[in-house]
Chain A
Amino acid sequence: MSRPVLVRREQVLRGGQPLAFAVGLAVALVVGVALLVGSGHDPLRVYERMFEASLGDPRAWSVTLNRAVPLGLAGLAVAVAGSMGLWNIGAEGQIMAGAIGAAWVVRIGEGWPSPVLITAMLAAAVLGGGLLALGPAIARARLGVNEILTTLMLNEVAIRLVQWLTHGRWKDPESHNFPLAPMLPDNARLPGLFERAHMGVVLAAVVILLFGVAASRTAWGYELRVAGSSGATARYAGISLPRKILTVLVLSGGVAGFAGGIELSGTSDRITESLSNGFGFAGIIVAALALMRPSGVAAVALLFGAVQIGGQSIQTMGVSSSVSTILQALILFGAIAAGVLTRYRVEMVAGDATEAGR
């Protein structure tokens, strides 16, 4: 009798992560077939529709790219913190905080020229997101308070803040008493790129690229890697851990806030409590699949954008949009499971397997 056991590889498989990702996608699509057949749909037609709506033509591409922007920036926010071993679970709220900052600039910036207004909006968005992360950052750096809990709880605060504003001071007088903020003026809108894609795509790509270079090529990124690998080693090398934690978490919040500003200015009509739309949480998955690397974040965000847009499109066929959510989750599970194989290989052994993995 022989049976498979996992044996640790002496070196992690190079290029294993994209492979794991592909396996995860394949697993998701196969399981998806079962789901769709079970609910009485033709899986081929559904997949075809999803593909067409997300990647089928330039227009589909533009929508997918727009969706990849907040996913990628939120993923980058999580990855920046994650590269130092910190977990920013608060990107959802920081996106909101960024949107509040940007919307506030719109209120005071009536009549400003568009480039000035948009620049000010995005700057305010970065500040807003960074500000929301500042509390958790100080608490973690000075007192060692777990940032997972503090950033998570502040999500609620930010979302309630938007509700409070749209129900109160920021309510549009012409909204017939609906709790809605006023529509954005045209000069607060990001210019278009092609089809429905907006300039945010370029901005997000630049920001991700910048962080990629900073993380891998600069002394700052080196210090971050050392601190992420071992705090004691960082102290030994003369790197101030509290300062690193502070800057990294605030920066992470700022990147998420930037996503909020772009989302408001690029795709939303007005600030609403659903503007962040789960991007902050999806960003955690994106960052995890990208192994906290900026280059990976961009690729994963594009794929998740396509899956989300495809998932929305099949609702007109009577398929629940939950299918796309389930597919995203299955990709994660599949990729994480397959990721094990980048570190272990399967070996068939005779008899029992008591020494597996030792």
Chain B
Amino acid sequence: MTEPSHPIGPTGPSETSGGDAPSVELPAVELRDIWKRFPGVVANAGATLRVRRGSVHAVLGENGAGKSTLMNVLSGVYRPDEGEVRIDGVAHHFRTPADALAAGVGMVHQEFRLVPSFTVAENVVLGACERIVRRPAVESAVEALAGRFGLAIEPDRPVWQLSMGERQRVEILKALWRDARILILDEPTAVLTPGEADELGAVLRHMADDGRTIVFISHKLHEVTGFCDEATVLRGGKTVAASLSVADTDASELAGLMVGASPVITERPPAREAGEIRLQVRDLRCSDDRGLPALNGLDLAVRSGQIVGVAGVAGNGQRELAQAIAGLRHVESGTVHLVGEDRTDATPRQRFADGLGYIPEDRIGVGLAPRLSVTDNAVLRTYGRHRRGPFLDAASATGHCRDLVDRFGVRTGPLDEPIAGLSGGNLQRLLVGRELVGGPRVVVAAQPTRGLDVQGVKAIQDLLVGERDAGAAVLLISEDLDELSTLADRLLVMHAGRIVAEFDPVTAERHAIGEAMIGHAETADDTGGDQ
């Protein structure tokens, strides 16, 4: 394994340990040949990681590549089956996260572990102060620590009042308070707005310059190229590229390493003649869950036999757009026409009857009911058709479910068992199958392939193309630009609750699309083109 041996900047709070000569730069973190097996899964198959002290190091990989497992090994949550964990050159055998913390490794988890009714300062020192202390003293100590790293926070505010970005700062402060010299952040920007993500990047830079070592897990490439020094790419539990210098690479090379030679990005399916307008949205305005404007006069139209892709940075109203079309979000003004009829005020059930199939972003909890059986979930939209008087005809419902499962290749146990036992890909096949089985005239698919494995992605994409070829109007909202450029017949870019640009997916340059996604839409070609 070759690793560039840069001279380090300012030394961190740690002292060089071990008996090595001080002239040899020891990596802050070294994971050698880590193996970790779970029943039926090998999560890490000889993964390695070397992180230079005082750097921001990205760990990249698709879902299921073994990133989280490797980080859990580093932070003492899991013990590796084989392999070695070295911190500052010293081998460690962490038994608990507390052991890892004692060695200076702190983790900021994706789900925050905070007490909502406690203040920021109370959360930071919780479990890490040995005696009862005066509140003002703790608050000023926390404030001083936050100030040192440029973390804007009010120590006396209760956590429940804070935004997601502020909560994350509290989590980071917790690790810093416990004197973590090596900080692991597990997909820290997933819950942040783009502005907050940039701020986080600055904070991480600041901490690295202070001598701390940051391990940053992500699959957003622009963040990696934006504020990381080096990147390690995992695929299938193995390290496929170790400690690449970010300055010497680019997003497309990293993306290539992440997906490898897998056939996710398929050939463009041949286009089809577009028909009449099936879905028309005019001047749509509505608010998000916090009551802030999410859609600000959005217009779009989708024709029969057409896939219209919507690209955009997460949080620019894509979620609200899908919900408003499906009838699950209050529309403040504007109209939604389905198959020529104004259905702005129709219920979700009426819209389904009109031929709208909706694949929501949240599979479990919106699209599927978690504790119910496979059959119960399969008839969620159509249980009215399996009625006999007040009774549900169990045989007819089971028959319908059996058809669905066979036709869409859902691998499942007994149909009367809860869906909790199904894998992510099979859950999505069940959900997509249910929405498509009746031959919808309009399909709204929100992030339909997110988090699925390669086969799952392919299966869902093929189904959407199949619907288009059968004449449906498909609105595909996705954060995966590759998916959009492959599948979409027209590519719209959404920013701040509006469609700001339209591209021809065949000829569009990624650079131009990216500019439009961040709101610089003046360079976009053929805006407002044919509909």
Q: Which of A214, A218, A221, A237 contacts B380 (CB 8 A)?
A: A237
* Size of the chain B interface, CB-CB below 8 angstroms: 37
Q: Once bound together, how far apart are the Cα atoms of A266 and B303, in whole Å?
A: 69
Chain B neighbourhood of A355, CB < 8 A: 77-79
| Interface pair B95/A222, CB less than 8 Å apart | no
Chain A neighbourhood of B392, CB < 8 A: 217-219, 221-222
Which residue of chain A has the shortest Cβ distance to B389 in the bound complex? Answer: A218
Majority SS at the chain B contact face? loop
Chain B neighbourhood of A274, CB < 8 A: none
Asked whether B47 is an interface residue with its Cβ less than 8 Å from the other chain, the reply is: no
Asked whether B408 is an interface residue with its Cβ less than 8 Å from the other chain, the reply is: no
Known: A232-B365, A235-B328, A236-B328. A219 touches B348 (CB 8 A): no
| Interface pair B384/A219, CB less than 8 Å apart | yes
Chain B neighbourhood of A218, CB < 8 A: 390-392
Chain A neighbourhood of B370, CB < 8 A: 229-230
| Interface pair A233/B376, CB less than 8 Å apart | no
Q: Once bound together, how far apart are the Cα atoms of A350 and B10, in whole Å?
A: 44
Asked whether B421 is an interface residue with its Cβ less than 8 Å from the other chain, the reply is: yes
Asked whether B333 is an interface residue with its Cβ less than 8 Å from the other chain, the reply is: no
Q: Which of A217, A220, A233 contacts B368 (CB 8 A)?
A: A233
Q: Which of B77, B367, B387, B417 contacts A236 (CB 8 A)?
A: B367
Minimum CB–CB distance from B384 to chain A (whole Å) comes to 7
Q: Which of B352, B365, B394, B413 contacts A230 (CB 8 A)?
A: B365
Q: Once bound together, how far apart are the Cα atoms of A235 and B329, in whole Å?
A: 10
For chain A, residues 228 to 258, give those with C-beta under 8 angstroms from any C-beta of chain B: 228-230, 232-238
Residues 202-226 of A, flagged 1 when their CB comes within 8 A of B and 0 if not, give 0000000000001001111110011
Minimum CB–CB distance from B35 to chain A (whole Å) comes to 15
For chain B, residues 356 to 386, give those with C-beta under 8 angstroms from any C-beta of chain A: 358, 360, 362, 365-372, 376, 380-381, 383-384
Q: Which of A214, A221, A234, A238 contacts B352 (CB 8 A)?
A: A238
Q: Once bound together, how far apart are the Cα atoms of A228 and B76, in whole Å?
A: 37
Minimum CB–CB distance from B386 to chain A (whole Å) comes to 8
| Interface pair A220/B328, CB less than 8 Å apart | no
Chain B neighbourhood of A226, CB < 8 A: 369, 372, 376, 380
Which residue of chain B has the shortest Cβ distance to A229 in the bound complex? Answer: B369
Q: Which of B77, B347, B369, B394 contacts A358 (CB 8 A)?
A: B77
Asked whether A10 is an interface residue with its Cβ less than 8 Å from the other chain, the reply is: yes
| Interface pair B387/A219, CB less than 8 Å apart | yes
Asked whether A195 is an interface residue with its Cβ less than 8 Å from the other chain, the reply is: no
Chain B neighbourhood of A214, CB < 8 A: 390
Q: Once bound together, how far apart are the Cα atoms of A354 and B381, in whole Å?
A: 44
Q: Once bound together, how far apart are the Cα atoms of A8 and B96, in whole Å?
A: 20
Q: Once bound together, how far apart are the Cα atoms of A56 and B381, in whole Å?
A: 52
Asked whether A177 is an interface residue with its Cβ less than 8 Å from the other chain, the reply is: no
Chain B neighbourhood of A110, CB < 8 A: none
Q: Once bound together, how far apart are the Cα atoms of A343 and B390, in whole Å?
A: 34
Minimum CB–CB distance from B326 to chain A (whole Å) comes to 7
Known: A10-B421, A220-B390, A226-B369. A238 touches B349 (CB 8 A): yes
Q: Once bound together, how far apart are the Cα atoms of A233 and B370, in whole Å?
A: 9
Which residue of chain A has the shortest Cβ distance to B348 in the bound complex? Answer: A238
Asked whether A11 is an interface residue with its Cβ less than 8 Å from the other chain, the reply is: yes
Minimum CB–CB distance from A233 to chain B (whole Å) comes to 4
Chain A neighbourhood of B380, CB < 8 A: 226, 233, 236-237
Chain A neighbourhood of B328, CB < 8 A: 232, 235-236
Majority SS at the chain A contact face? helix
Residues 87-120 of B, flagged 1 when their CB comes within 8 A of A and 0 if not, give 0000000011000000000000000000000000
Minimum CB–CB distance from A354 to chain B (whole Å) comes to 5
Q: Which of A11, A229, A232, A352 contacts B417 (CB 8 A)?
A: A11
Which has the most chain B C-beta neighbours within 10 Å: A233, A236, A238, A352?
A: A236
Which residue of chain A has the shortest Cβ distance to B76 in the bound complex? Answer: A354
Q: Once bound together, how far apart are the Cα atoms of A228 and B418, in whole Å?
A: 14
Q: Once bound together, how far apart are the Cα atoms of A355 and B36, in whole Å?
A: 12
* Size of the chain A interface, CB-CB below 8 angstroms: 25
Minimum CB–CB distance from B269 to chain A (whole Å) comes to 29
Known: A218-B391, A219-B390. A235 touches B96 (CB 8 A): no
Q: Once bound together, how far apart are the Cα atoms of A219 and B396, in whole Å?
A: 13
Chain A neighbourhood of B384, CB < 8 A: 219
Chain A neighbourhood of B365, CB < 8 A: 230, 232-233
Which residue of chain A has the shortest Cβ distance to B379 in the bound complex? Answer: A222
Chain B neighbourhood of A220, CB < 8 A: 390
Q: Once bound together, how far apart are the Cα atoms of A226 and B417, in whole Å?
A: 15
| Interface pair A237/B372, CB less than 8 Å apart | no
Minimum CB–CB distance from A269 to chain B (whole Å) comes to 40
Which residue of chain B has the shortest Cβ distance to A221 in the bound complex? Answer: B392
Q: Once bound together, how far apart are the Cα atoms of A217 and B349, in whole Å?
A: 22
Chain B neighbourhood of A354, CB < 8 A: 76-77, 79, 95-96
Which residue of chain B has the shortest Cβ distance to A234 in the bound complex? Answer: B369
Q: Once bound together, how far apart are the Cα atoms of A214 and B381, in whole Å?
A: 20
Which residue of chain B has the shortest Cβ distance to A352 in the bound complex? Answer: B95
Residues 100-142 of A, flagged 1 when their CB comes within 8 A of B and 0 if not, give 0000000000000000000000000000000000000000000
| Interface pair A236/B391, CB less than 8 Å apart | no
Q: Once bound together, how far apart are the Cα atoms of A217 and B380, in whole Å?
A: 15
Known: A222-B392, A226-B380. A237 touches B349 (CB 8 A): yes
| Interface pair B376/A222, CB less than 8 Å apart | yes
Q: Once bound together, how far apart are the Cα atoms of A358 and B76, in whole Å?
A: 13
Chain B neighbourhood of A11, CB < 8 A: 413, 417, 421
Q: Once bound together, how far apart are the Cα atoms of A225 and B397, in whole Å?
A: 15
Minimum CB–CB distance from A230 to chain B (whole Å) comes to 5
Minimum CB–CB distance from A293 to chain B (whole Å) comes to 13
| Interface pair B362/A237, CB less than 8 Å apart | no
Chain B neighbourhood of A235, CB < 8 A: 328, 348
| Interface pair B372/A225, CB less than 8 Å apart | yes
Chain B neighbourhood of A230, CB < 8 A: 365-366, 369-370
Q: Once bound together, how far apart are the Cα atoms of A238 and B366, in whole Å?
A: 12
Q: Once bound together, how far apart are the Cα atoms of A238 and B349, in whole Å?
A: 5
Chain A neighbourhood of B368, CB < 8 A: 233
For chain B, residues 386 to 421, give those with C-beta under 8 angstroms from any C-beta of chain A: 387, 390-392, 394, 413, 417, 421
- Residues of B that sit less than 8 Å from A by CB: 76-79, 95-96, 326, 328, 347-350, 352, 358, 360, 362, 365-372, 376, 380-381, 383-384, 387, 390-392, 394, 413, 417, 421
10 closest Cβ contacts across the A-B interface?
A: A238-B349, A229-B369, A233-B369, A232-B366, A229-B371, A237-B380, A218-B390, A238-B348, A354-B95, A230-B369
Provide 12 A-B residue pairs closer than 8 Å at the C-beta atoms, listed in order of the A residue: A218-B390, A219-B392, A222-B376, A222-B383, A226-B369, A233-B365, A237-B349, A237-B383, A238-B347, A238-B349, A354-B76, A358-B77
Q: With A222-B383, A226-B380, A236-B358 given, can you name 4 additional A-B contacts, CB distance below 8 Å? A: A236-B366, A355-B77, A355-B79, A358-B78
- Residues of A that sit less than 8 Å from B by CB: 10-11, 214, 217-222, 225-226, 228-230, 232-238, 352, 354-355, 358
